[in-house]
A and B are shown apart, each in its own frame.
Chain A
Amino acid sequence: EDQVTQSPEALRLQEGESSSLNCSYTVSGLRGLFWYRQDPGKGPEFLFTLYSAGEEKEKERLKATLTKKESFLHITAPKPEDSATYLCAVQSYYGQNFVFGPGTRLSVLP
């Protein structure tokens, strides 16, 4: 059974304090790993897709990386507007189902 875990459950940072969020997964043949951002009262918003180990994607202060067992979302010099819940999801080759992790709640304090 495909599974996704995320750590930490919650993270509080000072503005400018860089850190990383972890997404660990087990999947029978990874088709893709997806990162989403979710703001309160909103649906998840797509950030990145990673397809193979070693791949990296960047967007503004965010960089996502992928290994065969986990993915990291690195946040460089975060700002208060980066505060949100970050969700990770995987899709296997054997189905179209997306399995989501529980998310990491990030708070960036000014």
Chain B
Amino acid sequence: DAGVIQSPRHEVTEMGQEVTLRCKPISGHNSLFWYRQTMMRGLELLIYFNNNVPIDDSGMPEDRFSAKMPNASFSTLKIQPSEPRDSAVYFCASCVSNQPQHFGDGTRLSIL
């Protein structure tokens, strides 16, 4: 079975540019989560969706961050405009409700 697929694996861009991260969850999973991981703050939940509907976006740091899930097999996390402090590894995870999450291998984002 294919796991959670994230793209790109690495992204390097200049401050002010728009960044779009993509995630394909495991087929059949109805919950999807976006996390950010840094050395200082560890793994932080940004937003999660249940049945394609955003349930809790209280972890989204600013209005510069937005996330969508247009269908059960695709989600995006967008940062516009990007800033150097957004540099981190961004993970997507999916699960069946209340079951353990399965994580992708992340997108390492560097904003110069």
A-side residues, CB < 8 A to B, are 31-32, 34, 36, 41-46, 49, 87, 91, 95-103
Contact = CB atoms under 8 A, between A and B. Distances in A.
A49 B99 CA distance: 9
Nearest to B49: A96
Given A98-B45, A102-B42, A43 B103 contact: yes
B27 interface: no
B61 interface: no
B34 interface: no
B100 A97 contact: no
Contacts of B42: 100-103
**Interface on chain B toward A: helix, strand, loop, or mixed SS?**
strand
Contacts of B101: 34, 44, 46, 98
B109 interface: no
Contacts of A95: 56
A13 B43 CA distance: 25
B100 A34 contact: yes
A36 B31 CA distance: 18
B102 interface: yes
Given A34-B100, A98-B101, A43 B4 contact: yes
B17 interface: no
Nearest to B43: A100
Given A43-B106, A95-B56, 4 more contacts: A46-B101, A96-B31, A97-B45, A100-B42
B105 A96 contact: no
Contacts of B33: 98
A98 B94 CA distance: 12
